[in-house]
A and B are shown apart, each in its own frame.
Chain A
Amino acid sequence: MSAFPSISANTLSTADRARIDASTRGPVLLFFGSALFWLVFGLALETLASVQLILPWFLEGISFLTYGRITQAATTIFAYGFATPAAIGAGIWLASRLCRVELDHHKLLVSAGIVWNLGLLIGASGILSGDSTSLPLLCLPGYSTPILLLSYLLVAIWALLTFFRRGDSPLFVAEWFLFAGLLAFPWLFAAANTLLVWNPVNAPAQPAIAYWFAGGFVNLWLAPMGAAAAFYIIPKASGQPVASHHLDLLGFWTLMLFGSWTAGASLIGGPVPAWIQSAGVAASVMMLVPAFAIGVNLHLTLSGHYATVGWSPALRFLATGIGCLFAYWVLNAINSLPAVNAVTHFSDIGRALTVLAFYGFFAMAASGAIYYIVPRLTGHEWPCHGGVAWHYWLAAVGVGLIVIDLLTGGLIQAYALTNPIVEFRSALDFIWPFRFMSAVGFILLFLSAANFALLFAGILLDTRKNAAPAYLAVREADSTEPVAV
């Protein structure tokens, strides 16, 4: 059906790449741009919420700025305003490159992007004005989610067409993750909305389904999409082959199996049958297998060539993101052990892990992908090298502050919450200084996101007319490593 010349099975010539990149420009930039807008907006709300947690009187008594509503709006905006569009945007580019197919459905995808943002705007306004469902990661009111699903349907049509046209060449590991993520998201999102929001099942059955969705959103949607970007861009930019096909297989299939079963670990000792809890615990602990398989594989790929991570923004962000994903899965496995969870559940350790997965893993990995992809679409270099470095360090220090403080503070808070002779008030007193530091961390994260959005605007408008690629560190003139940006 395609009128353009077929591209050879295993290689892409520079001209092929140029054609494919140019064909994806509009939709990908639309998804990335809107994602960055929502990231800044969501982090502003998240920062406000973190301040209200230490100063409860701050802007209180205003319905649309009350803590519960802005927290839920911030989480929703991160998940559906930033993460999902960024994943779709990177997915469009990755699928076009990996399937070696030029994008010829601009209108389809541009419509999808516009409809998606419209749906999210309606949904986020709904949450702030008091229509939240208050379900984990699924606060969007029932009237906004059909719009999002409609938009994803358009994306799915494009994905099907693209994968059908890809030819017979063997599937590269990044394509497995990409395909799995694009398949899992609509399944999770449509099923959870049907069973919990549109036509809710009886309440006793809801907690298990709700956490099946919440766990799946991270393990089967964000993680595969981040891994897809990492498994294409890391070997591509560093010029190294992916270390081990067997590790690919192990990591991918164990992620698919264990990642979908983790729901019960969020309800240990709670109102779901014991075996669902035990299955969730077993699955969460066995997530160590994909964590090590994916982490070790990418580490071995870069091993000996970490210099490229030093100077390439894309590699730096992606490697940090995958490192955070590894840390998230390991900490989550520990936190899922019943004896540990009995103490730590309901403390800020849960918030720390969410921040690690969202801002440590996914925002970093997506930023890495954006740093790599956008110059290829626009033909411009990133405008301000210092700005890129600021973005990285603000984000890294911000995430580090939040995660480390909430983990240590959460341990103390958890002790106070569970010890029968300690009063409830003590838990609040103990956690306060740590929450203060985490609020500082959120301010840094907000600044990093604002900085990134400015850089993005700069590269679109080509403000500086930079000819040199954006290095984070000096690349020695005699380096044998690839340029990697």
Chain B
Amino acid sequence: MNQTPNNDPGSHDSIEANAPELREAPEPVEKSSPLPFWLVILAGVLIFWGGFHLAGNSGGFKPDVYNPELAAGGAAAQAGPPDPRVVGKRLFNQNCAVCHQTSGMGVAGQFPPLVASEWVVGGDWVGDNHLVKILLAGAQGPMQVKGNTYNNAMPPWAQLKDEQIASILTYIRSEWGNAAPPITAEYVAKVRADSGDRKEPWTQKELKAIPAETQPAAGAAAPPAPAPAPAAPAA
């Protein structure tokens, strides 16, 4: 770009105004008349209406609310995090089904079943804490499951997040006719903290020495599951 005017230097003096320029009125100016009263009222009403409309139809300014009426009508919970049993099924199929099978029946003599297993849904001395502990640190040595003895090793799964472990357990406790309450991520976190940094797999003997406990208020803390499966206590 040019910093000095270089074109046609003589033009400043030689240009004559043409006819349209000669008949022009002077440069425009502004008057400062006040705003018309009705326009002030109109603007006020519109701004009030706009704020009212936005406040009433914003769906709480959430990025995942597309229909404020449904959200206000109680369906907001459906817009929450995904069903843990859905996530749990995927994680189970990826990590656990190799041994326990997608049917949850295990392999006779090799890998114990999860269906109706006292280790999964709770038994005489087995509590929710034992189930979580096995997931976190694994298990080894002879174990009695539904009256059969299995002698094999299960690897630890402490590398999974609390939510993921909770999802898997919630899934296996509500699938294949199992009907135990969901396990929450908070409870997994609690058991993980209780177990300290134990790495070596548990044996049945060690576990039996730990008193059984049941997850406190498990059902209330878990997200409501749409399917009726966990509601039926029999099975």
**Contact call A289/B42, Cβ cutoff below 8 A:** yes
**Contact call B19/A381, Cβ cutoff below 8 A:** yes
| Chain B residues within 8 Å of A483, by CB | 23
**Contact call A274/B57, Cβ cutoff below 8 A:** yes
Within 8 A of B (CB), among A1-29: 1-5, 10-12, 14-15, 17-19, 21-23
> CA–CA, A232 to B25, complex, Å?
12
> CA–CA, A286 to B43, complex, Å?
8
Q: Knowing A236-B27, A250-B35, A469-B20 touch, does A286 contact B50 (C-beta < 8 A)?
A: yes
Within 8 A of B (CB), among A465-485: 467, 469, 482-483, 485
Nearest A-chain residue to B50, judged by Cβ: A282
| Chain A residues within 8 Å of B58, by CB | 274-275, 278-279
| Chain B residues within 8 Å of A3, by CB | 4-5, 9
Chain B residues within 8 Å of chain A by Cβ, number = 56
Q: Knowing A282-B53, A376-B21 touch, does A289 contact B29 (C-beta < 8 A)?
A: no
> CA–CA, A24 to B32, complex, Å?
32
| Chain B residues within 8 Å of A174, by CB | 28
The stretch of A79-87, A102-110, A435-443 in contact with B is A102-110
Q: Knowing A12-B27, A278-B54 touch, does A246 contact B32 (C-beta < 8 A)?
A: yes
**Contact call A292/B31, Cβ cutoff below 8 A:** no
**Contact call B59/A105, Cβ cutoff below 8 A:** no
Nearest A-chain residue to B60, judged by Cβ: A275
> CA–CA, A324 to B99, complex, Å?
74
The stretch of B10-18, B156-164, B181-189, B205-213 in contact with A is B10-18
A247 within 8 A of B: yes
> CA–CA, A11 to B31, complex, Å?
16
| Chain A residues within 8 Å of B63, by CB | 273
| Chain A residues within 8 Å of B67, by CB | 274
| Chain B residues within 8 Å of A158, by CB | 1
B107 within 8 A of A: no
| Chain A residues within 8 Å of B16, by CB | 18
Which residue from A4, A11, A15 sits with its C-beta under 8 Å from B27?
A: A11
A324 to chain B, nearest CB (A): 20
A242 within 8 A of B: yes
B228 within 8 A of A: no
Which residue from B12, B25, B30, B47 sits with its C-beta under 8 Å from A4?
A: B12
Q: Knowing A239-B25, A274-B59 touch, does A248 contact B68 (C-beta < 8 A)?
A: no
Within 8 A of A (CB), among B217-231: none
Q: Mark A253-288, 1 if CB is under 8 A from B, else 0.
A: 010000000000000000111110111011101101
Nearest B-chain residue to A17, judged by Cβ: B21
Within 8 A of B (CB), among A108-162: 108, 157-158, 161
| Chain A residues within 8 Å of B62, by CB | 273, 275
Chain A residues within 8 Å of chain B by Cβ, number = 75
> CA–CA, A341 to B46, complex, Å?
18
| Chain A residues within 8 Å of B68, by CB | 274, 278
A426 within 8 A of B: no
Among A104, A105, A174, A283, residue most surrounded by chain B Cβ atoms (within 10 Å): A104
**Contact call A161/B43, Cβ cutoff below 8 A:** no
**Contact call A236/B50, Cβ cutoff below 8 A:** no
A180 within 8 A of B: no
B68 to chain A, nearest CB (A): 5
B64 within 8 A of A: yes
| Chain A residues within 8 Å of B59, by CB | 273-275
**Contact call B18/A286, Cβ cutoff below 8 A:** no
A86 to chain B, nearest CB (A): 19
Which residue from A18, A102, A274 sits with its C-beta under 8 Å from B65?
A: A274
**Contact call B28/A281, Cβ cutoff below 8 A:** no
A204 to chain B, nearest CB (A): 10
Nearest B-chain residue to A338, judged by Cβ: B57
**Contact call A108/B21, Cβ cutoff below 8 A:** no
Q: Knowing A236-B24, A469-B20 touch, does A250 contact B43 (C-beta < 8 A)?
A: yes
Which residue from B1, B18, B32 sits with its C-beta under 8 Å from A379?
A: B18
| Chain B residues within 8 Å of A21, by CB | 18, 21
B34 within 8 A of A: yes
| Chain A residues within 8 Å of B125, by CB | none
**Contact call A237/B42, Cβ cutoff below 8 A:** no
| Chain A residues within 8 Å of B148, by CB | none
A375 within 8 A of B: yes
| Chain A residues within 8 Å of B36, by CB | 247, 296
New A-B contacts (16) at CB < 8 Å, excluding given A242-B29, A279-B54: A1-B4, A15-B17, A18-B16, A105-B1, A107-B2, A241-B31, A244-B32, A274-B68, A274-B71, A278-B68, A375-B18, A375-B19, A375-B20, A379-B20, A381-B20, A483-B23
- Interface pairs (23), CB distance under 8 Å: A14-B17, A15-B15, A22-B11, A104-B2, A172-B28, A173-B30, A236-B24, A244-B33, A244-B35, A245-B33, A247-B35, A250-B39, A273-B62, A273-B65, A275-B62, A278-B53, A278-B57, A279-B58, A286-B46, A296-B36, A375-B20, A379-B19, A482-B23
Q: Point out residues on B near A: beta carbons under 8 Å.
A: 1-7, 9, 11-12, 15-36, 39, 42-43, 46-47, 49-51, 53-54, 56-68, 71
